[in-house]
């Protein structure tokens, strides 16, 4: 049987157990610290990886402007002898002044936070960075600066490429051989792009065109504004493209003929645009008009020649003078589209009056011969002088005459004559009368062919008189 433990033995055993417990606790504590340290290292490593992936570093500065804690990365912030070098040593010179001023504002307390974009490296191999700094109160109760630096070189290069592309596009648009513009359909068709050609044609600078509407640019021509608006709205509804010829009137009133192509385009945000391109065809249009005028004059000449030839044939086959003249003015009236054709004879050498001897009238038109017994020539002195000098009397539009002229030539108003032409007739060198043609239901712009035709009719009348005088 074992002897019972003494008090000393019991105390020793208790101390031994306690010692082992302390050692165990110490080991566990050390293990915990090592684990935390490992986790810290892992976290720091993860932060470094995240920082590298995001191309972002952090730093802390004291109030004197000295960095005392950074995420070491020479790309963002070079070091020398284990300490970050002053930014002035690696910033490009053109950014140094702005950088110093930023930190001066922070240190003077003029600002709680700042942001600056700068470049570092060399002019031929530079990187772009964006720095954000904020004043904070640290756990020790002191103020310091906490900051982020982000590498924005790629974004900057993308931005520069975008700027270069936009500059190239602007250059191409400005040098197009025609007018180019873009309107915002959803903002009252306001111009957002206009090239140099369009500005030159309108007489308005590009800066003043952009942001303006047609009402503001072409305020001097409301009809033109309405024409553009009608075209634009129709195109916006159809969402198609159109080709058309439309006028452009500049600030000086000069008219340009533009052949345009217009279409619509929708941006990803739903914004609708109207794109237009036009070539100035004014010279071509003028040539076409000249050609058209030549063809019309030729047609008129051929028509007049046909009328004269047919009238001559009628005179040659007529049985008497009266029939010959009536056949002649019938041909003239019908083929010229006139409403009346007549021949007046002067009652005396002083041309104080004239009577209508022959008259042809179109269907539905009131005759002059029986309603107007005597034409009082002195009431219209212009006509008297023109007939004496064998100058044709031409009135293309009665409504465009002066009030005084309309008053003197009231016979035109009395018989609803809108256009009138007359040519004197001479027999044996003496002024006999005149042949006249008028238009009641339309306005006639008389041509050289019309004058030539009427002069030929006057000669044919003399020919007919000579034939039947024998």
User: In the CATH scheme, what is the code of domain 176-280?
Assistant: 3.30.450.20
Structure tokens at 333: 């009236």
Mean pLDDT calculated for residue range 140-145: 84
Is residue 26 scored above 60 in pLDDT?
no
pLDDT digits (tens, 9 = 90+) for 49-106: 545 555 677 778 777 656 555 555 667 777 777 677 777 778 888 998 998 899 889 8
- Contacts by 404-407 with C-beta closer than 8 Å and gap 24+? none
**Nearest CA among 359, 388, 385, 387 for reference residue 372:** 359
Residue 244 has what pLDDT? 92
Report CA 374 to chain centroid distance, whole Å. 62
Distances (CA, A) of 349 to 345, 352, 377, 465, 470: 11, 8, 12, 19, 25
Q: What percent of the chain has pLDDT over 70?
A: 82
Separation between Cα atoms, residue 443 and residue 430, nearest integer Å: 33
pLDDT band at 209 (very low <50, low <70, confident <90, very high): very high
Is residue 107 scored above 90 in pLDDT?
no
pLDDT digits (tens, 9 = 90+) for 261-317: 999 999 989 899 999 999 998 888 778 777 777 776 666 666 667 777 777 777 777
Is residue 243 scored above 50 in pLDDT?
yes
User: In the CATH scheme, what is the code of domain 51-158?
Assistant: 3.30.450.20
Separation between Cα atoms, residue 71 and residue 418, nearest integer Å: 97
pLDDT digits (tens, 9 = 90+) for 172-183: 888 888 999 999
Domain parsing of the chain, residue ranges: 51-158, 176-280, 301-469
pLDDT band at 193 (very low <50, low <70, confident <90, very high): very high
The backbone torsions φ and ψ at residue 357, rounded to the nearest 5 degrees and listed phi first, read -90, -35
Distances (CA, A) of 416 to 166, 376, 399, 440, 460: 66, 18, 11, 6, 28
**Nearest CA among 95, 7, 45, 349 for reference residue 103:** 95
Residue 43 has what pLDDT? 47
Q: Mean pLDDT in the chain?
A: 82
Residue 37 has what pLDDT? 57
Residue 65 has what pLDDT? 59
Helices within 149-281 (DSSP H only)? 153-174, 196-202, 206-209, 214-217, 222-238
pLDDT digits (tens, 9 = 90+) for 368-413: 887 776 677 767 888 888 888 889 999 999 999 998 888 888 888 8
CATH topology of domain 301-469: Beta-Lactamase (3.30.450)
Asked if residue 256 lies in contact with residue 279, where contact means CB atoms within 8 angstroms, the answer is no
Separation between Cα atoms, residue 179 and residue 215, nearest integer Å: 18
Asked if residue 207 lies in contact with residue 194, where contact means CB atoms within 8 angstroms, the answer is no
Mean pLDDT calculated for residue range 199-216: 93
Is residue 361 scored above 60 in pLDDT?
yes
Buried b (16+ CB within 10 A) or exposed e, 211-237: eebbeebbeebeebbeebeebbeebee
For CA atoms 23, 28, 29, 33, the dihedral sign is positive
Asked if residue 250 lies in contact with residue 203, where contact means CB atoms within 8 angstroms, the answer is yes
DSSP labels for 356-421? EEEEEE-TT---STTT-S-B-GGG-HHHHHHHHTTPPEEES-GGGS-HHHHHHTHHHHHTT-SEEE
Common-topology check for domains 176-280 and 301-469: yes
């Amino acid at each position: 049987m074992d002897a019972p433990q003494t008090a000393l033995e019991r105390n020793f055993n208790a101390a031994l157990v306690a010692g082992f417990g302390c050692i165990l606790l110490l080991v566990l504590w050390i293990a915990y610290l090592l684990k935390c340290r490992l986790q810290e290292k892992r976290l720091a490593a993860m932060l470094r990886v995240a920082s590298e992936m995001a191309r972002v570093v952090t730093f802390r500065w004291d109030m004197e402007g000295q960095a005392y804690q950074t995420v070491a990365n020479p790309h963002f912030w070079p070091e020398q002898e284990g300490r970050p070098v002053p930014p002035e040593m690696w910033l490009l010179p053109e950014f140094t002044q702005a950088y110093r001023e930023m930190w001066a504002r922070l240190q003077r307390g003029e600002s709680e936070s700042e942001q600056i974009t700068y470049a570092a490296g060399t002019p031929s191999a530079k990187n772009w960075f964006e720095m954000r700094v904020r004043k904070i109160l640290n756990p020790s109760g002191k103020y310091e600066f906490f900051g982020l630096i982000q590498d924005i070189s790629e974004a900057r290069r993308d931005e520069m490429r975008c700027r270069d592309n936009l500059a190239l596009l602007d250059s191409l648009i400005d040098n197009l051989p025609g007018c180019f513009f873009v309107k915002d359909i959803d903002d009252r068709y306001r111009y957002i792009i206009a090239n140099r050609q369009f500005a030159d044609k309108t007489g308005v600078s590009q800066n003043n065109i952009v942001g303006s509407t047609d009402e503001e640019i072409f305020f001097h021509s409301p009809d033109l504004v309405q024409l553009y608006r009608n075209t634009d709205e129709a195109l916006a509804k159809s969402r198609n493209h159109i080709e058309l010829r439309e006028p452009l009137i500049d600030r000086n009133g000069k008219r340009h003929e533009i052949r345009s192509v217009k279409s619509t385009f929708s941006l990803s945000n739903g914004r609708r645009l109207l794109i237009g391109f036009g070539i100035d065809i004014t010279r071509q249009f003028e040539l076409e008009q000249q050609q058209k005028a030549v063809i019309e004059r030729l047609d008129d000449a051929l028509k007049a020649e046909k009328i004269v030839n047919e009238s001559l044939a009628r005179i040659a086959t007529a049985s008497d003078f009266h029939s010959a003249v009536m056949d002649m003015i019938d041909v003239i009236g019908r083929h010229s589209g006139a409403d009346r054709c007549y021949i007046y004879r002067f009652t005396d050498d002083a041309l104080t009056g004239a009577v209508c001897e022959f008259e042809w009238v179109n269907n539905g038109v009131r005759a002059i011969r029986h309603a107007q017994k005597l034409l009082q020539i002195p009431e219209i002195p212009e006509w008297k002088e023109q007939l004496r000098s064998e100058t044709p009397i031409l009135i293309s539009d009665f409504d465009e005459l002066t009030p005084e002229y309309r008053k003197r030539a009231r016979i035109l108003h009395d018989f609803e004559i809108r256009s009138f032409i007359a040519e004197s007739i001479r027999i044996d060198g003496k002024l006999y009368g005149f042949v006249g043609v008028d238009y009641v239901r339309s306005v006639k712009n008389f041509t050289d062919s019309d004058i030539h035709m009427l002069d030929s009719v006057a000669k044919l009348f003399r020919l007919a008189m000579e034939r039947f005088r024998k």
